[in-house]
Structure 1
């Protein structure tokens, strides 16, 4: 009898765990990651539709990436106001405000959070290891859509590309060489754990940069998003929206680095997608 009771108990605990897991997955929100550049009215409408807001829900803009946060807020507010009647708030967190309970509660309960472009390192210096970071994650786990453009796209990754080079220190929009140990990473928001995002991808020909990122993290999926284009991430499924294309690199074989830091590899998986296409995270 005791073995029977033990078996029933294990079954009940397993069912409870699976139900809890399914509920957590159902509640988890979505990511709407834009590759920068001009955002069409259609793309913003897709963002609002993705967020699926009720009349009582509201949006929060986080403009800390920008050197001109008020201007960044006003630009996206203008577009969102045309697409939605929901209220829009601006929370420009500083070191003095990252513990403000009223602001944090507003952020955690937002249905749509939009992170503007600018400098991803500037954003993370304000957010990392603060209650703001935790509030963003809480909103996401409660079903919010977290959106970002340009720098706001880069911060979605746990291992975030900063754009700086460590060996060739002259800044360019792309890299001149496929060098190992040349790309600088910092910690991002970690909404994507094993995915590295690059933005302005085709416009600025950032293949060298993304391949360098893949060489640094060969088990990751590296995704380049062009301007005016977005990926919508829900669970493991990605849907492409916008006017251009999205590229995915993964699964390289036989990575080698020469004495001069040059990278070689075989048979990496290269995929290219456009609006309406769907693919899965690794």
Structure 2
């Protein structure tokens, strides 16, 4: 069954203040706060920002509070969940009443360690599946954790080397592998490596200040000032990825 809700996956560094000269210079179509505007249908809809991934939740709260207020959003809160309180009844009620759950950036593994196999994760997923006015959004690490297979750690570089990437189970909202800061941090190699290991999955590489809005689980629209790259290994015919030695080059060909 197709999910009724929306996913918004963001490549990180989404414009929050409308005054980024680098973005304005790189893209004549740059529009301030274009991506953050998309996360709710109406300005009074409830947004809950989950800041569990970041090591600086107070700073993250201040940044998004200022941006949301400038956008005219009037109904938002912040949840810095920990293992001890992730299934707290008050937290569950707040998620139940939200129209948007927004995962901030930070460490994607930390999000999964806290949320996986919890009531709150099940609640978010079921709302995404069943409610047509519900949105799950994430930026940077908060986007990466939404995939079925998640990049835990990997080397950034052009070469793909044996065992230089670690993949783990994500939260499973989208059957793919997601990577963020894709262009600025030179992450083509590591995403290609991930889909060579999992050729049944697409790889989605998102540039900064760039988002994919995914409806019905598969219909995607790209927004923002950067690019989205899709990598497929479904036509792969030969690779040594399964038996390559540590540190040796990985090859793949169609």
How would you bin the TM-score normalised by the shorter chain? 0.7 to 0.9
Tell me the residue number matched to 1:147.
137
The Cα offsets for residues 205-246 of structure 1, whole Å up to 9 and x where unpaired, read as 111101110111011100100111111111211111111111
> Post-superposition shift, 1:75?
1.1
Q: Higher helix share goes to which structure?
A: 1
2:39 and 2:137 in contact (8 A); partners too: no
Cα RMSD between the aligned structures? 2.1
Tell me the residue number matched to 2:219.
237
Tell me the residue number matched to 2:147.
157
- Tell me whether 1:206 sits opposite 2:187 in the alignment: yes
Report the secondary structure of 1:241's partner residue.
strand
The Cα offsets for residues 155-176 of structure 1, whole Å up to 9 and x where unpaired, read as 11011111x24xxxxxx5x135
Mapped to 2, the partners of 1:146 and 1:224 lie a distance apart of 18
TM-score of the superposed pair, with normalisation by structure 1: 0.76
- Tell me whether 1:60 sits opposite 2:75 in the alignment: no
> Post-superposition shift, 1:48?
3.4
Instruction: Say which of 218, 232, 238 aligns to 1:255.
Output: 238
Report the secondary structure of 1:153's partner residue.
helix
Tell me the residue number matched to 1:51.
40
Tell me the residue number matched to 1:100.
88
Paired positions, count: 233
Between structure 1 and structure 2, the one with the greater Rg is: 1
Mapped to 1, the partners of 2:210 and 2:103 lie a distance apart of 16
> Post-superposition shift, 1:204?
0.7
Mapped to 1, the partners of 2:158 and 2:231 lie a distance apart of 19
Report the secondary structure of 2:114's partner residue.
helix
Instruction: Say which of 7, 12, 15 aligns to 1:36.
Output: 12
> Post-superposition shift, 1:127?
0.7
Which runs of at least 4 in structure 1 moved beyond 3 Å after TM superposition? 40-50, 258-261
Mapped to 2, the partners of 1:125 and 1:259 lie a distance apart of 30
Tell me the residue number matched to 2:63.
75
Q: Report which structure shows greater RCO (CA 8 Å, sep ≥6).
A: 2
- Tell me whether 1:179 sits opposite 2:161 in the alignment: yes
Mapped to 2, the partners of 1:155 and 1:196 lie a distance apart of 9
Relative to 1, partners in 2 of residues 1:51 and 1:85: Cα closer, same or farther, differing over 3 Å?
closer
Mapped to 2, the partners of 1:43 and 1:149 lie a distance apart of 17
> Post-superposition shift, 1:134?
1.1
Tell me the residue number matched to 1:276.
none
The Cα offsets for residues 121-168 of structure 1, whole Å up to 9 and x where unpaired, read as 111111111112112213312231111111011011011111x24xxx
Structure 1 range deviating more: 210-219 or 180-189: 180-189
TM-score of the superposed pair, with normalisation by structure 2: 0.84
